[in-house]
Structure formats: C-alpha cells, structure tokens
Structure 1
C-alpha cells in the first residue's frame, strides 16, 4: 500500500514535469525562428567573446562587449542596405508617377478624357483611399514594430545568457544526467562543427561583402559611365548576403548586373563597351565568387559535415522552414551526422564511453606488446 502511494506520487510529479516541458516546447515552437537565430548569433559572437578573455574582463562585460562589437557593424551594414533600398524605391515611385502622366497623355491622344480631369479623378481616389486606410496602416505599423522589438529583445537576451551561462548549464546537465559519458562526447563532437559552420557563414558574408564592394569600386574607377556598376556598396553587400547560399548565391548578384550592363552596351551601339563588361564578369567570377567561396569555406568548414550535404541543407532549409531554415537545417544536419558517429554505436552496443576507452587502451597495450615481441624476434634473428 505504501508502495502504491509512492508510485502514484511519482506519476503525479512526472505528469507535472511533462506538462511543464510541453509548455516550454510550445513556447519554443512559437519562437523557433528567434531561437535558431540566437544559436547562430551565439556561435558568430563566441570567438569575439573568447578573444576578449585576454584582457581579464569578467564574463558578463565580455558578453555585452562582444555583442556590441559584432552588432554595431552588422546593424550599420543592414541599415545602410535598407537606406539604399528605400532611396531606390523612392526613385522607382517617382519614375512610376512620371510614367502615369505619360499614360494619361496617351489616353487623351486616343480620345479618352482630358488629362487634367483624369489626374484630378485619380488624385481624389487616391486621397479617399489614403484617408480610409491611414488608421489601419498606422495600427499595423505599430503592431509590426512592437513584434519586431520583442523578438529582437528575446534574441539579444538569449544570446547574452548563452554566452554567460551556457557552458555552466551544459556542464550541470552532463554531470547530473550523463553517467555513461556518451552525451558529453556527443556535445564535444557537435560544438566545434556548429562553431565552424555557423561562424564560418558570418565570416564568409563579411569577407565576400568587403571583396565585392572593393571590386565594384575599382571597376567603376576604370570603366566608362555607361557600363558602371550601379550602387557598388549595395551590390557588394548583396553579394555577401548571397554567399549564405553556396555555389549559386553570389551568382544571383553579379550575373544579372553584367547582363544589365551588356544590355546597356548593346543599346548604346558602342560594342567596345562589351570589353569592360566581360572583364567585370571574369573578375567577379574569380575574385568575388570563387576565391572566398572555395578558400574561405575550405578553412572554416567542419571536419565531419560533408560539403555536398551541407549545400543541400542550405537549399532545402528555406524551402521547408522559411528563411530561418537557412540556419536550422544545417544545425539539424550536424546533429544527425554526429549522432550517427557517437550515439548510434552506444545505442546498438550498449558500451558507454568508459568501456570503449578501456577496450581501446587494452587494444593499444596488446598492439604495443605485439610490436615489442616482433622487434625482439627480429633482433634475435640478427
């Protein structure tokens, strides 16, 4: 009877724990994109966080300083890109307005209404529509901004505490629940792979962006104005962002640019302009695309993760999960690959880390004994 009460009490406590875990899982699923970006940001900032240790700073100031040192250049780069896009959008709207006037004049030429009357009607319709939707647009903008602020706050807080308390939390879990030592081995295998892959991505983005901006600026300095690269800073930044998609990402930037410049050369009738456009295509393919993507990724890619499988995960991830799948699926791929190396042998054989190490040590002792006996036999024969 006493056993039944103890068992019932354990079941009740277990159900409570499962309920709490279910709530945590539900919240994690709702904010899965923020959590994935926090993991990515953690591995991107961690090298800076560790390099600041040489100055003797405590963990909390180091974490805040590392976020600032990484976040400020990143925010400036994103802000500059958004500003350029906004200016371009304004230019497109102005061009569209001019084309609208030209369209109204065309209607007048074919006998459909008066230009001034048509413009007045259009202006009145736009004014009425603007008055009817301005309140909804304002509330929608507030909702979007507040949601973005909350997610950004969660992202920064998660990354900060992962830098400060992450290693201690993992050590506590392993000491309390990993008697076999196999999960510790799994963590030690996964962590450097994630670090190399995710930190390598951000390094490749910045390096490719800097190389692209410098290349386009140098090209514009020598090229004629008719075939100059428009907004070289923006094109270089987009090339850096495109490097997140290996092999094809950067080509989505410089190939349309060269095609547009070649079209300008064709329209101008000066076929000598095709020479600088061809030079831009070759230089972009070699300096902006091949060198960063091949050499940098070769030095910052993980050891266990296959490059082809990683490429597939980069392409399939956004299709399955959305934009955050660009980071989520590579993380899942690394977890799965290392699980096959570390966890699956433990599941199949039941040997924990200590047993495997003992067997390996026994095998090494036998091998060394065999080598010594073979060496002794050879010396005796001599």
Structure 2
C-alpha cells in the first residue's frame, strides 16, 4: 500500500519547477500627474484652507520619485459620494460596492493580456489566485473574474485579502506550490488594487493620511504560472526556484492595514520602516540563496523588488552596494505608476522581462515584496533561455 501511495503522489507532482509563462498588466484610464496632484487633491476634497498640510503633501509628492498615477475614482465619482472624504462618516459599504464591480473588470483586463501572451485556451487554467486590498465580500472578486474570463466551473479558487504590498509576492509563492504539486496545473494569479476604498480628505489629527495620498495608485497585474511547459506553445520566462517569507521581529506596528467604517485605513511609519528594510535585506537574501548552494554576488543578480517608497529602494541599493541601474525596473515602475500595493511587483517583473529581452541580463535573480508584519517575501528566480526568444 505504501508503494501505491508513493506512485500516486509521484504522478500528482510536476517533473520540473514552476515558471512564469506570461504576464499582463492594466490601469484605469484616468491619470493624474504627480506635480498636479496636491492641487487636485485639496480642490476635490474642499480642503484648500489647510495650507500647511497642502505644502506637506507637495513635499511628499516631490520626494516619491513618481511622475504620474492612475485612478479608478474620478472627481465626479467622489462628488457623488461626499461622505468618502470624512473619516468619521460610515462609507465602507459604498466603497466596497464600487470595488465589487470595478476590481474584477480591471483584473480581467490584465488577465486577458496574460492569457493572450500565454497562447493556450482560457479553459486550460486549473487554478485561480486573486489578491486584493480592495474587497471584503463573498462571492468575491475571484468568482466574478472567473465568470468574466470564462474559466471552467471546476477551477480551484483562492482569495487573499488585506495582505498589503506583499500580497502580489505571496500570491506568486502560492502559485508555485500549486503548479509543482498538481501535474499539468496552470495557475492564473491576478492582483488588483483600487484606492477608492481608502481615499479620504486631509485631517490635521491624522497626518499619516497624506503618506498614502502621495504614494498609492490603481492597477492590476496577472501572471500565468505552470511547470513542464507545453512546447512550442508555452514559453517559460522565469523559473521559480525557491520561496521564503520572513517576519522581522518587533515590527508589527510599522505597517498596518485594517477595515474601518470609514473605509480601509492603516499606518505607515516611514521613519521606522525605511531603516528596517536596509538593515534586514542582506540576511533575508542570504537565507534564501544559502540552502541552494549558489555563491552569488548581489551584483550578478537581476532584481524585481517591490518599490513601496523611493527611500526604501535607496536603502536597499545602499545596503547591498548595488551597481547603478540594478534596481532600474523598480524605479521605472515607481516613476510611471506609483505604488499599486500587491499589483506593483508584477509590473516590476514585467518591466524586468522587457529589459532582459532587449539586452543582456544575469541568469539568477530575485523577486521581493514587503508588507504588514513587517513581512519580507523572497523568491529566487532563474531566467530561461526562452526569455531571449521573442
């Protein structure tokens, strides 16, 4: 009986490692430049009399390294929901109603791009992982997304809620396990974020509100993950070699996310958070690469790092003594889109793919995400030879 069970277990597992087979991204159509955002924000929130806070937001926006951001919410939508601007007024239900419609549609746009690049039928998708900080209902974004895309009714769905900026990395970690432990599985990962669930006006009693208003934008990223590629249809881009998660002790207060009657809220204590990233990054990397027996120099790697805020990237750059341009994919996404929470790391991975298709890059790399905890998600990647074949 034991040998039968071993044979069954062996037949259920993939032969090779999971790999990223395709990537798709999407943003809402409305875009606001970072230079114009402080005037825009204080005008639509009817808060132009708070001149000191407006100056603070201008300074924050200038320091983000972001050029523009995309938003689902418009001035018209906010005008129809004035209670969104006041933290003290219940608004969660109305925010979630908006997200329940908009989030699956934006996720579907990104997923459709990934599926088209993948080259196989949508009905070949066996597993669906959706991560979002923009919904809290069931049936949720995952079921609506499956319906929009036309996934088969037997698709295995997993929904991740309120994992903050690390949710994209966490979803990819789960996708690796699913693909490698279910022979023939094809996992669609979709991460979608809408800041309408957290948008509110400035308040002198809550200055941390401005941190989010200066940094976050809307977007969706999708990835098809699978092992044992079907040639010549599928083209693996990055093999997902190993994954790990580390929680830095005594840091659970520096980054939080929570549902409140006034929408999603939380704290980002940037003065504490920024040095924590720099002080712990090298140990997390050593813990990830050490067991693999790979004696790598950090400058030999390619990098797909979640760009939460510019100062964290600068700290990582300095702590690892990286050569100029090593974090270029992260800085590019931060500049062009801002921080889209969990979806951002997928944008960065796609930007890194684009760069590696056009110019030489290293064989080994790393994807990293950061979230509440303070949690560090680390994935060791290996670029395949297919990455060079357009």
User: What TM-score, normalized by structure 1, do the two folds share?
Assistant: 0.23
User: What TM-score, normalized by structure 2, do the two folds share?
Assistant: 0.23
Structure showing the higher strand proportion among its residues: 2
Query: Over alpha carbons, which structure has the higher Rg?
Result: 1
Higher normalized contact order (CA 8 Å, seq sep 6+, divided by chain length): 2
